[in-house]
């Protein structure tokens, strides 16, 4: 099996795998499971330093993004889609499929969102029910200042939906102005894919409850969860083994007092190595601490780099897709991937990979990485 150093899914700790193998009760009938689920949700909210309610849904992280849009959007609602990456732009599809009217604020894909430019845009047009923004746009490794963006949006009375699937617990985030925060199990949290996390504010709940029309989905629907605890009932059978694993993964995060600092230190050293080697970082600003992204150098291809890493060094890193297909390489140093040993091994393998492919580097990626820790 390959060592995965991709920007999700990430490596899963043995205690998480063990928790997923525990005997299962019937989550539809066992009230104790409802209590366990509730306590896990409270723990996630506490770690995020918010009193907003956490809900855990059975489905990969994309479900949370769609559920946020499905639950808020009614026919004809204007929705501001803040776009400086593939996932940022992708929110327009969820808005449209549920009858909304997406209006894009598009920035440079190599730059973090310019908050001053967004403010100037809103001064001319702020008639939006809600806005969507991505904290860490994984296909390019772009990080946006979501704290400043959501604070600005709130000044205009606009609800906010934030995709933090690739950054939750890897990048510090002020969630005080976020109405629906979306996370996923398979990134920094380092559990297997299969669960989405939605943290829902009272303002978001009020907007959902005030809808004039029914939500156009059952599965992608946050409202069906609003009374689960009082009624001791879930709208569908919950994936109990996945949730058992998530509980232990969250406990691992709770016990890790330096998780944000470690991600920042390793990411900074990785970027220093990429620059010193002569490779080019894709972004000009907005560098994520969960994934580093560099352009494919002349003389080789993304496919050649990825295949050599897998076949010769047993390490899986990632290319990208959509407008970035074939152009960039991504190293995922998030969650359990984010250790000095994992990243040093990956960069040493990249040194050998580029040598084998005839690409001359100005400096050793591994040596510069270790010198900058």
pLDDT at 2 (0 to 100): 95
Q: What average pLDDT does the segment 290-308 reach?
A: 98
CA dihedral 203, 205, 210, 216 (to 10 degrees): 130
Any idea which residue has 């909304």 for tokens?
Answer: 100
Q: Give me the percent of the chain exceeding a pLDDT of 90.
A: 100
Query: What's the rounded Cα separation, in Å, for the pair 177 and 97?
Result: 26
Query: What's the rounded Cα separation, in Å, for the pair 230 and 90?
Result: 35
Q: What average pLDDT does the segment 252-258 reach?
A: 97
pLDDT band at 363 (very low <50, low <70, confident <90, very high): very high
Average pLDDT, the chain: 98
CA within 13 Å, CB half, 207: 24
pLDDT at 129 (0 to 100): 98
Both tokens assigned to 245: 């694993």
Q: What average pLDDT does the segment 115-141 reach?
A: 98
pLDDT at 47 (0 to 100): 98
pLDDT at 316 (0 to 100): 98
| 140-174 pLDDT, tens digit each | 999 999 999 999 999 999 999 999 999 999 999 99
Count, residues in the chain: 373
Query: What's the rounded Cα separation, in Å, for the pair 175 and 72?
Result: 19
Query: What's the rounded Cα separation, in Å, for the pair 204 and 342?
Result: 40
Query: What's the rounded Cα separation, in Å, for the pair 351 and 128?
Result: 49
pLDDT at 150 (0 to 100): 98
Phi, psi angle pair for 359, to nearest 5°: -100, 115
| 73-102 pLDDT, tens digit each | 999 999 999 999 999 999 999 999 999 999
pLDDT at 270 (0 to 100): 98
Q: Give me the percent of the chain exceeding a pLDDT of 70.
A: 100
Question: In this structure, are residues 351 and 167 in contact, taking their beta carbons and an 8 Å threshold?
Answer: no
DSSP 8-state secondary structure symbol assigned to residue 318: B
Neighbours of 2 (CB within 10 A): 13
Angle in degrees, CA 218, 223, 224, rounded to 5: 55
Q: What average pLDDT does the segment 206-225 reach?
A: 98
Q: What average pLDDT does the segment 246-251 reach?
A: 98
Q: What average pLDDT does the segment 257-262 reach?
A: 97
CA within 13 Å, CB half, 305: 25
pLDDT band at 107 (very low <50, low <70, confident <90, very high): very high
Angle in degrees, CA 119, 124, 125, rounded to 5: 90
Question: In this structure, are residues 61 and 196 in contact, taking their beta carbons and an 8 Å threshold?
Answer: yes
């Amino acid at each position: 099996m390959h060592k995965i150093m991709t920007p999700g899914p990430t490596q899963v700790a043995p205690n998480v795998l063990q928790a997923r193998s525990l005997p299962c009760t019937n989550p539809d009938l066992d009230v104790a499971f409802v209590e366990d689920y509730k306590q896990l949700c409270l723990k996630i909210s506490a770690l995020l330093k918010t009193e907003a309610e956490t809900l855990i849904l059975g489905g990969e992280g994309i479900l949370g993004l769609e559920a946020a849009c499905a639950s808020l959007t009614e026919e004809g609602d204007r929705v501001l889609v803040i776009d400086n990456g593939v996932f940022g732009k992708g929110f327009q599809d969820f808005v449209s499929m549920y009858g909304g009217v997406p209006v894009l604020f598009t920035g440079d894909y190599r730059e973090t969102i310019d908050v001053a430019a967004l403010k100037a845009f809103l001064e001319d047009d702020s008639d939006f029910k809600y806005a969507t923004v991505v904290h860490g746009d994984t296909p390019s490794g772009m990080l946006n200042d979501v704290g400043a963006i959501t604070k600005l949006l709130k000044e205009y009375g606009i609800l906010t939906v934030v995709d933090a699937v690739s950054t939750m617990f890897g990048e510090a985030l002020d969630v005080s102005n976020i109405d629906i925060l979306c996370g996923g199990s398979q990134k920094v949290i380092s559990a297997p894919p299969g669960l989405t996390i939605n943290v829902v504010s009272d303002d978001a709940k009020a907007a959902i409850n005030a809808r004039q029309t029914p939500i156009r989905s059952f599965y992608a629907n946050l409202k069906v969860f609003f009374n689960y605890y009082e009624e001791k009932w879930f709208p569908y059978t919950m994936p109990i083994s996945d949730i058992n694993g998530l509980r232990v993964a969250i406990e691992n995060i709770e016990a890790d007092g330096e998780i944000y600092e470690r991600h920042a230190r390793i990411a900074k050293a990785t970027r220093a190595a990429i620059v010193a080697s002569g490779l080019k970082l894709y972004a000009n600003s907005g560098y994520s601490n969960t994934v580093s992204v560099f352009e494919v150098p002349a003389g080789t291809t993304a496919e050649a780099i990825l295949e050599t890493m897998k076949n010769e060094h047993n390490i899986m890193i990632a290319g990208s897709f959509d407008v970035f297909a074939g152009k960039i390489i991504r190293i995922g140093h998030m969650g359990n991937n984010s250790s000095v040993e994992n990243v040093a091994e990956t960069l040493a393998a990249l040194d050998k990979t580029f040598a084998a492919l005839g690409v001359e580097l100005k400096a050793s990626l591994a040596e510069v990485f270790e010198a900058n820790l």
